Structure 1
Amino acid sequence: MIIQHHLSDETILEYAGGSLSEAWSIAVASHLALCPACRKRLRGMEDAGGALMATIECADTSSDQSWEEMKRRLADAPRVTPEPAASADLEVDTATDGARLPEPLRSYLGGDLDGLKWKSLGGGAYHLPIPTEDRSASARLLRIGPGKAVPEHTHNGRELTLVLKGSYHDGARQYRTGDISEADEDVEHQPIVDMDGECVCLAITDAPLKFRSWVVRLVQPFLGI
């Protein structure tokens, strides 16, 4: 398994700084469990943050200005392009065809994919809301059959999608197991699952999706998406 799509520097920086809420942190931590390249970037940011904190006078460390200055300096640091990781480096059991989930996601669900009870969304799609204490965002698993398309939509807010099993195409890009995508209100798309098998994803959103189809919008409140 080679991961091609990684977390943005901004998201890793938020995670390193402890400013991500529970739902977002589940997705980020689960991707980090699969991706040595992003773990390396996280360690680099944490090391840089520690070095920068050491240069800030003690009297200023409690101010918002000091935190903003540290974020600015980290953001201005040279960017590191993630290198594809060999499958031998991954901390995940790929022999079960994606049935084994990374932590902390496995603990939230109480097991792996083969023991979950899915709720139908219709049209060959299923979902499973993940209970958290987070009131600012929602987390859920999505399972969609081969060749099926998610209805065309944009977003009212932010979305993180981590592929746990299978693959899908979004325009010219293919997302496979371990890949993660970030979308917001500027993105309008229609992901389509590849024909070689179903796709299971972890999706985090902080607002309902904006579907183009009025039929989907009509049933959206009942589906909770």
Structure 2
Amino acid sequence: MSGITHHVPDELLIAYASGTLDPAFALVVATHVSMCDESRARLGAHQAVGGALLDSLAPPEDQGISISADMKARLMDALDDPYEAPPSYGASGIFPAPVMEALGGLPPKWKPLGGGVRQSILSRGTGGSVRLLYIPGGQAVPDHGHNGLELTLVLQGAFSDETGRFGVGDVEVANADLEHTPIAEEGPACICLAATDAALRFRSLIPRLLQPVFRI
């Protein structure tokens, strides 16, 4: 997809390629990569470097690492175990394949947050969450900051805040230094995929009171 100007930074791509990225953020990165030729190429380059590094490692025996015959036998036996591949999902409408996989192939279950804003939580853990957000055109999200990292990927429409404009395929990377008031662009609703590793920090009283209910 062309026209994308805000990409996933290299440090997150490298963490994704190595399998160390938090699953919530990994979903945003996978979705962005599926939409962005440039980021997909950069990810491929990082994967190639990682593969070359693995190939350059000496065998375990040459590193003084002993592998027992029993461990080798159990590994070979495990390779023969039956494997049932998880169901695969293709893109549907504005939702790329990684989002449809997170949705289990079903439409989002939207819950109202007020002012026409809706959300559909895809997963939530002790430290953070990943969700779909539906923001009507022209509607603002309450002013807030962050206690950690937030990745927001636009799937439909656009929004603007103090850092610029974000259209379809763009990713905003927000950390604890950013206080902002995202406003959806006039026109079609802005639909985003957003992942956080900590609760948001709202200035206004009402959003703070409702925060435990809405789990944001």
Partner Cα separation in structure 2 for residue 31 and residue 220 of structure 1: 27
Instruction: Give the % identical residues.
Output: 41
Are 1:117 and 2:118 matched, yes or no?
no
Are 1:101 and 2:95 matched, yes or no?
yes
Map of 1:143-182 to 2, 5 A cutoff? 143-182=134-173
Map of 1:1-225 to 2, 5 A cutoff? 1-58=2-59, 99-111=93-105, 115-131=107-123, 135-225=126-216
- Max Rg structure: 2
**Do the aligned residues in 2 keep the contact of 1:30 with 1:103 (CA within 8 Å)?**
yes
Partner Cα separation in structure 1 for residue 97 and residue 213 of structure 2: 30
Aligned to 2:72: none
TM-score between both structures, scaled by the size of structure 2: 0.80
Compute the displacement of 1:119 (Å): 0.5
Compute the displacement of 1:135 (Å): 4.9
**Do the aligned residues in 1 keep the contact of 2:91 with 2:97 (CA within 8 Å)?**
no
Deviations 1:178-209 (A, max 9, x none): 11111111111111100122100011011110
Structure 1 residues 5 and 92, CA, compared in 2 at 3 Å: closer, same or farther?
Answer: farther
Q: Give the count of matched residue pairs.
A: 189
Q: CA RMSD in A?
A: 2.3
Partner Cα separation in structure 2 for residue 169 and residue 33 of structure 1: 23
Structure 1 residues 169 and 61, CA, compared in 2 at 3 Å: closer, same or farther?
Answer: farther
TM-score between both structures, scaled by the size of structure 1: 0.77
Deviations 1:134-166 (A, max 9, x none): 554311110011111111111111111110110
**Do the aligned residues in 1 keep the contact of 2:24 with 2:123 (CA within 8 Å)?**
no
Unaligned runs of 5+ in 1: 63-90, 94-98
Give the 3-state SS of the residue equivalent to 1:139 in structure 2. Answer: strand
